[in-house]
Amino acid sequence: MIIDFSIRNYLSIKDEISLSFLANTKNIKDGVNIIPVDNGKFHLYSFSAIYGPNASGKSNIIKALSDLIGFIIFSHRFDIDKPIPAYKPFKLDTRSSKLPTFFEIEFMVENTRYIYSIEFNHKEILKEELNFFPEGRKANLFLRLKKDIKFGMYFTGEKKPLETFLLPNRLLLSLAANSNNKILHPVFRFFRDLINIHVKMDSSQNPFHSTTLELRDKKNDFKKLLFKILNAADLSVKDVKLIEDKDVALKLRMPKDIPDELKKSILEDFRYKPYLGHPVFDNNIETNKLEYFNLENEESTGTLKMYDIAGEVLNSLQKGTVLIIDEFNSGLHPLLNKFLVELFINKDINKKNAQLLISTHDTCVLDLSLLKREQIWFTDKTKYGVTELFSLDEYDKNIVRDYSKYSKLYLDGRFKAVPSINIKELIEGLF
C-alpha cells in the first residue's frame, strides 16, 4: 500500500509536491473504507482521485511513479555511462534544468512500513536511502551518497560485491535485490508486483489485455468474477473464448535485433484473441445459443475498455495491490467509472485492502457519497508553467463542507484546477 509519494524537479513539477493516502479518522462516516496500518497507528484510504485541466500535470505524477518503478526494476542491468532515463528535469527554469530530480515514497509491504528516496541527475545517483520501521521504530537499512555506502545494522547479506558492482547509474536497491539479498526482496517485489500502472484507459490502440492473460491461466473463479463485473456493467456477456491467432507473428512489427527469448515471450502474450459470447434471441425469447464477437473489431470501444480494465480491477481486488489509472474517464460511461471506484471504496468487496488512484475529468466520481475531502486532489499550473498539487482538504471547511456537491463547486472553478476558456478572444481573433 502506498502511504504517500513526493516529487521534485520532474517534467512540469518544479517544487516538491506530495500526494498522500493518509486518512484523518475523525468524523469519518460508517462504511468508508479506511485501512489500518502500522498496528493501527494511522489509516489509509483505498481510493484517491486527481482532477485538473489538460496539461496541468496530472499524468506527470503518474509518470513519475512509473519512472521510479522502472528505475528500481531495471537499473541493475544498466551499462556503464548509460544515461538515467528517469531524469526529466523542469526545463522552464534555467536553474532547475540543471538540478537533480527527487523521488520519495512511503509504503507498507508485509506489514512493515518503509521510506525510500532517491536523488539523481542524468548520469549518476547522488543520494539513495531506505529506512523502515521494525517494531515501530525507524531504522536505516542503507544510505548511499554517490559511491559511499553506509549499511544499517539490520542490513544482512554480503556487502563487498554490492560496492564492487555498483555503478553511478545503478540503484543499490535494484542491484542488491537482484543479488539474492533477502532483506530487500519484499521492497523490490512491492515495486515489481504490487503496483500496476494503466498508463491510459484507452485500449482501442492497445491489443494487449491483462484480462486475456488471466483467462489463459484457466482460473475458473476469475472467469466467474469477470462475468459478474461485465454484466453488472450491463454488457450482457455470457462467455469468453480465446481463439489462437496463427498469423500473430506477421501482424506484430518488432525490431529485427530483438532477442529471440523476448520475441517469443511477446508473441505468446499476443497469441490468443478474446471473443465475447452474447445470447441469441428468437422472436424476443432468449435461446441457448451464443454468438461470439471478436473483441477488437466487432465490439464497441466501451466494451473493449471495460473488458480490458476489468481484469486489472479483479487482480487488484484479489491480491490487494495498488492500481493506478491515467485518464480514467476515457471511453467509459460516467456511471461505469463510478461503479469501478465503488468496488474499491466498498469494504465488503475490497477485503484485501487494494488501492486505486486515478487521474480524471469525470465529475460523477466527485459526488460519491462516501468520499472524503482528503481523497480528492487537484493540479493546476502557475503562469511559469509549474504544476501545483493540493487537496480539497486544504479549503476552509466552513465554506466547503464534507460530502458537499463537489462536482458543481469544481466546475464553477471554486477549486481553480479548471481550464481558462476565453470564447470572446477566440471569436475576435478568428472572425
143 and 235 together in one domain: no
In terms of Cα–Cα distance, which of 385, 363, 216, 294 is closest to 376?
363
Percent of the chain having pLDDT more than 70?
A: 84
125 and 221 share one domain: no
Q: Does residue 178 sit within a domain?
A: yes
Q: How confident is the model at residue 87 (pLDDT cuts 50, 70, 90)?
A: very high
Of 319, 344, 379, the residue that ends a domain is 319
Contact 96, 115 (CB under 8 A): no
Same-domain check for residues 353 and 287? no
Q: Which three cell numbers stand for residue 28?
A: 469519518
In the predicted model, what is the mean pLDDT of residues 402-415?
A: 65
Q: Are residues 23 and 102 in the same domain?
A: yes
Give the closest residue to 103 by CA, choosing from 146, 70, 76. 70
Both 326 and 300 in a single domain? no
Residue 403 belongs to a domain: yes
- Is residue 199 a part of any domain in this protein? no
Residues 273 and 358 in one domain: no
Domain-embedded: residue 201: no
Looking at the structure, tell me whether residues 216 and 357 fall in a common domain: no
pLDDT tens-place string over residues 163-221: 888 999 999 999 999 988 889 999 999 999 999 998 654 444 444 467 887 787 766 67
CATH code assigned at 65: 3.40.50
362-383 pLDDT, tens digit per residue, is 888 887 767 888 999 999 999 9
- The chain-wide mean pLDDT, for the chain, equals 86
Range of the domain at 241: 206-319
| Among candidate residues 319, 334, 363, the one where a domain is terminated | 319
Q: Are residues 48 and 174 in the same domain?
A: yes
Same domain, yes or no: 91 and 230: no
pLDDT band at 249 (very low <50, low <70, confident <90, very high): low
pLDDT value, residue 5: 98
pLDDT at 80 over 80: yes
Number of domains in the chain: 2
Domain boundary among 290, 319, 348: 319
Instruction: Show Cβ contacts of residue 245 under 8 Å, excluding neighbours closer than 6 positions.
Output: 251, 270, 271, 272, 273
Alpha-carbon span 106 to 44, nearest angstrom? 12
Full-model pTM: 0.87
Residues 352 and 326 in one domain: yes
Cα-flanking dihedrals φ and ψ of residue 371, to 5°? Answer: -75, 135
Residue 409 lies in a domain: yes
Q: Quick one: 211 and 279 in the same domain?
A: yes
Answer yes or no: do 363 and 416 share one domain. yes
331 within a domain of the structure (yes/no) = yes
Residue 402: band (very low, low, confident or very high) from pLDDT cuts 50, 70, 90: low
Helices (H), 237-300: 248-251, 260-269, 295-298
Averaged pLDDT for residues 396-410: 65
pLDDT in tens, 101-149: 999 999 999 999 999 999 999 999 999 999 999 988 999 999 999 989 9
Which of 127, 131, 133 is closest to 112 using CA atoms? 133
Q: How many CB atoms lie within 10 A of CB 397?
A: 9
Task: Kindly state whether residue 28 falls inside one of the protein's structural domains.
Answer: yes
Q: Distance (Å, rounded) from C-alpha 224 to C-alpha 345?
A: 22
The number of C-alpha atoms within 13 Å of 74 and in the hemisphere containing its C-beta is 12
Phi and psi, residue 398, nearest 5°: -80, -20
